[in-house]
Amino acid sequence: MKKATLVAGAYCALAISAPAFANEISPYTPVAGGGEAEISWTRQSADSFNPGDARAPLPVDLNQTTVALDASYGVTDKLALDLRVGYGKSEFTVDPVLAPQGGLDGLTDIMIGARYKVIDEVDGGPFTATLGVAAIIDGGYRTGAITALGDGGSGGQVALAFGKQLGPVSYSSSIGYRTRGNNVPDEIFGGSRLTLSFADRFSVFGGLSFTDSTSGIDIGGPGFSPARFPEVEEDYKLWNVGGAVSFTDSLSLNATYGQKFDGKNTARSNFFRVGLGFSF
């Protein structure tokens, strides 16, 4: 397999998702001295949620808009440093149980990490395998509501990602473990994605991802109160599809639509995401 084909596939995989911190961790890293960055806009909306394993309608739609910057820099051809920072705003009515303060806004959790490529297709390996670690810094937003931008706990995560390029087809998958403070349950997370490229400029993709808390309480269950939202056991599965176009070798645009199709103690949301990516 030609090295140019592998590099093109790696860049495409980076261009259509956050470099390191979504549930789908990328196995591909930038070249030494180079990097990728993406500015994204995401809109989520839900009209129902899962209290425990049940499903119930929300009194009004729960919406959240997030603007984020994801960046990755290649220290070497195998080692990359990653950063994610963003700002979010949720919209919801005041509800004494679900959202005592109504909609909320603020800085999302900041994530700083590193990924090391253990096996590389470019060097003749059968596939690409990358180990990633990241620190999670609480964004300082208010918690205690379904409208919170996160769980409000600092901590860290470790993940292992795999990738394989076969001509115009690229496959990647990852599995990881996340732990945080503030009584937030630990989580196992992961995802898989399949990408098909056309004419070196266009691609379409689809994927599945999941998050599974290892413990926690149920919304409306014994001991629950709004203040204990960070302690809730949140589990969900999500599918997504989308496409990307590269305007130049260093500038690309992508769009993704996705939806949760299974869950526990989570809003049954769908989302639309647009990202503008560039490399240097």
| pLDDT computed for residue 22 by the predictor | 54
Q: What's residue 1's pLDDT? A: 40
> Is residue 24 very low, low, confident or very high in pLDDT (cuts 50, 70, 90)?
confident
What is the distance between the alpha carbons of residues 90 and 93, in angstroms, rounded to a whole number?
Answer: 10
Degrees (nearest 5) of the Cα angle 99, 105, 110? 115
Whose CA is closest to 21, among 139, 199, 157, 221? 157
Round to whole Å and give the CA distance between 194 and 170. 6
State the pLDDT at residue 23: 67
Residue 199 per-residue DSSP state: T
What's the rounded Cα separation, in Å, for the pair 57 and 38? Answer: 35
**Is residue 23 a contact partner of residue 73, using CB atoms and an 8 Å limit?**
no
Residues above pLDDT 90, as percent of the chain: 88
Q: Are the beta carbons of 209 and 24 closer than 8 angstroms?
A: yes
For 222-238, write each residue's pLDDT tens digit.
999 999 999 999 999 99
> How confident is the model at residue 199, as a pLDDT?
83
- For residue 46, what are the contacts with CB-CB under 8 A and spacing of at least 6? 58, 61, 62, 63, 267, 268, 269, 270
Query: Is a pLDDT exceeding 50 seen at residue 90?
Result: yes
Task: Tell me the sheet residues that pair with 116.
Answer: 79, 131
Instruction: Please work out, in degrees rounded to the nearest 5, the angle formed at the alpha carbon of residue 236 by the alpha carbons of 227 and 221.
Output: 40
Instruction: Determine contact, residues 85/71, Cβ cutoff 8 Å.
Output: no
Question: In the CATH scheme, what architecture does the domain 3-279 have?
Answer: Beta Barrel (2.40)
At 6 the pLDDT is 42
- Using alpha carbons, list the distances in angstroms from residue 266 to 12, 46, 215: 31, 10, 14
Residues 81, 73 contacting (CB under 8 angstroms): yes
Q: Is the pLDDT assigned to residue 80 strictly greater than 70?
A: yes
Q: Per the structure block, which two tokens stand in for 236?
A: 């969900």
The 3 state secondary structure assigned to 202-242 is: EEEEEEEEEEEECCCECCCCCCCCHHHHHHECCEEEEEEEE
Residue type present at position 23: N
Residue whose entry in the numeric block shows the structure tokens 């993709």: 205
